[in-house]
Amino acid sequence: MKRRDLLKTGSAAVALSGGFGTLAHAQEETTIEITDMVLGDENAPIEMIEYASFTCPHCAAFHANVYPKLKADYIDTGKVKFIYREVYFDRFGLWASMIARCAGQERFFGLSNLIYENQRDWAASGDPAIVIEELRKLAKTTGLNDAALDACMSDADQAEALVGWYQTNAERDEVNSTPSFLIDGEKFGNMSYDAFQEILDAKLA
């Protein structure tokens, strides 16, 4: 899915304020390390990185139709180390990412799947208040409470760090569409399961 502009680092805190109250912009620069979300064997013979946006319909289709097969056949069997990296083309995608990350490494992928499965419901209105409320409802099904969500979603420093982290990744790996994939460093666009299978099996051979 081709998208026009990246969410700029300097506007991250401003973008946040539309959904859940006014945030004070950080006056001092802070260093926050962003953790990659990883599934599979750390020592798997193949590394696969997905760049995706929670507001991208093609990403939702990939996670509904292709990802479950890849997970069963390659990630869960120790053949592929899978890394998911978020893309921020809009503030709704940033909010969804912050909520998914609020669930922590263990619950991140489960909540991400829920966000993709319900993408049409939470993203359709275009109303920031409704988007946030719907995302919070999804997060609560994984055990997160209001206090935890408020803390995560009011963290302007984290928002700035996430956007900067994405921009660094996107520039380095030349990511300009979603979903995009790096398989052992080689860039690929969105594909069918059969096409992924052919590439992965060739590398494993």
Nearest to 135 by CA among 126, 123, 127, 125: 123
> Between β-strands 46-52 and 80-86, what pairing exists: parallel, antiparallel or unpaired?
parallel
Q: What is the pLDDT of residue 98?
A: 97
Checking if the pLDDT of 27 tops 50, the result is: no
Q: What is the pLDDT of residue 11?
A: 47
- The residue-averaged pLDDT of 67-82 equals 98
Nearest to 35 by CA among 93, 106, 115, 116: 106
Q: What CATH class has 35-204?
A: alpha beta
* 8 vs 71, residue with greater confidence: 71
Domain parsing of the chain, residue ranges:
35-204
Give the separation between CA 168 and CA 176, rounded to whole angstroms. 13
Digit-coded pLDDT (tens) for 142-158: 999 999 999 999 999 99
